[in-house]
Amino acid sequence: EPEVTQTPSHQVTQMGQEVILRCVPISNHLYFYWYRQILGQKVEFLVSFYNNEISEKSEIFDDQFSVERPDGSNFTLKIRSTKLEDSAMYFCASRDPRGEETQYFGPGTRLLVL
Amino acid sequence: GESVGLHLPTLSVQEGDNSIINCAYSNSASDYFIWYKQESGKGPQFIIDIRSNMDKRQGQRVTVLLNKTVKHLSLQIAATQPGDSAVYFCAEKTGGGNKLTFGTGTQLKVEL
- Residue-wise pLDDT for A27-68, tens only, equals 989 999 999 999 888 899 999 999 999 999 999 999 999 999
Strands B106-111 and B10-14 come out as: parallel
**Pick from B72, B76, B75: nearest CA to B30:** B72
Taking CB atoms and an 8 Å cutoff, what residues of chain B touch A105? 36, 43-46
Q: List residues of A whose CB lies inside 8 A of any B CB.
A: 4, 31, 33, 35, 38-45, 48, 50, 55-56, 58, 91, 101-108, 110
**Pick from A30, A112, A41: nearest CA to A79:** A112
- Say whether A38 and B3 touch across the interface (CB within 8 A): yes
pLDDT > 90? residue A105: yes
**Res B4: pLDDT:** 43
**Res B6: pLDDT:** 55
* Single-letter amino acid code for the residue at B90: C
Strands A5-7 and A19-24 come out as: antiparallel
A–B: how many Cβ contacts below 8 A? 61
Contact indicator for A39, B80 with CB cutoff of 8 Å: no
How confident is residue A98, by pLDDT bands cut at 50, 70 and 90? Answer: confident
Cα separation, A79 vs A85, whole angstroms: 12
Taking CB atoms and an 8 Å cutoff, what residues of chain A touch B5? 38-41
pLDDT > 80? residue A114: yes
**Res B84: pLDDT:** 97
Cα separation, A25 vs A66, whole angstroms: 17
Round to the nearest angstrom and report the end-to-end CA distance of chain B: 40
pLDDT > 60? residue A103: yes
Q: List residues of B whose CB lies inside 8 A of any A CB.
A: 3, 5-6, 32, 34, 36, 41-46, 49, 51, 89, 91, 93, 97-105
- Say whether A101 and B5 touch across the interface (CB within 8 A): no
Rg of chain A over all Cα atoms, to the nearest angstrom: 13
- Say whether A44 and B102 touch across the interface (CB within 8 A): yes
Give the gap in angstroms from C-alpha B17 to the nearest C-alpha of chain A. Answer: 27
Query: Higher model confidence: residue A89 or residue A1?
Result: A89
Contact indicator for B92, B23 with CB cutoff of 8 Å: no
Question: Strands of B72-77's sheet, edge to edge?
Answer: B19-24, B72-77, B62-67, B56-58
Cα separation, A12 vs A112, whole angstroms: 5
Mean pLDDT by 10 residues, chain B (112 residues): 59 96 92 94 94 95 96 97 96 85 94 90
Which of A4, A48, A106 minimises the CB distance to B99? A48
- Say whether A45 and B32 touch across the interface (CB within 8 A): no
